[in-house]
Copies of this chain bind each other. A is one copy, B any other.
Amino acid sequence: MAYRHSAARIDRDQELRERILESALLLVVEGGFAALTMTTLAERVGIATGSLYRHFRGKGELAAEVFARASQREVDAMAAALNLPGSEPARMAGALQQFAARAWQSRRLAFALIAEPVDPEVDERRLEFREAYAAHLSTVIEQGVQSGTFRTSSVAVSAACLVGAISEALVGPLSPQARAAREAGQPTQQLADVSAALVSFCLRALAAEESSL
């Protein structure tokens, strides 16, 4: 019975860990990493703060795990869009539009993932995930170079430039400053405009005429 007991305990631990991570993600969706504190999270989950520390050594480790899970969903979504049927420019455009639209749907989370100032553990993961995005983009750039729709002297540099362009184009419109302006009724950038300008910039950079869509 000792074995069964401990297996059941591992299951319960695993289930609680999942609940903690889901609640943590919701806090970040609502208020960014700034809203993710060990005390608030313990209250949300309905456990003692001490129990939380049995699962995560601290805010940095927890934030890094939430970041990695949420980012993996975005990487997967981009990879899926890049792999749809169509020409390379069309697939690239579709993937960028989808990325921008998903960010717009959950702006606080998107800003938190891309640029919110937070523990260095999250910065570490940001560097890793930027490489993951770059790898998927590289594949499509290479395919485009082979089919003659894209042109570049360095697939690696172009892929890195795309990753930077995509995230930086969204940082401003997703920022707390933009949210404050919107809430004050001031004019702010619209998704359609930012998305269209981003797609133009990236396709031209890859030497694909937009008419080739």
Contacts and interface: CB of A to CB of B under 8 A. Distances in A.
Interface residues of A, number: 46
Given A160-B171, A204-B204, A127 B117 contact: yes
A156 B127 contact: no
Copy number of this protein in the oligomer? 2
Nearest to A120: B117
Main secondary structure on A side of the interface with B: helix
B160 A172 contact: yes
A48 interface: no
A79 interface: no
Contacts of A205: 165, 201-202, 204-205
A200 interface: yes
A197 B118 contact: no
Interface of A: 115-124, 126-127, 130-131, 152-154, 156-158, 160-169, 171-172, 175, 189, 193-194, 196-198, 200-202, 204-207
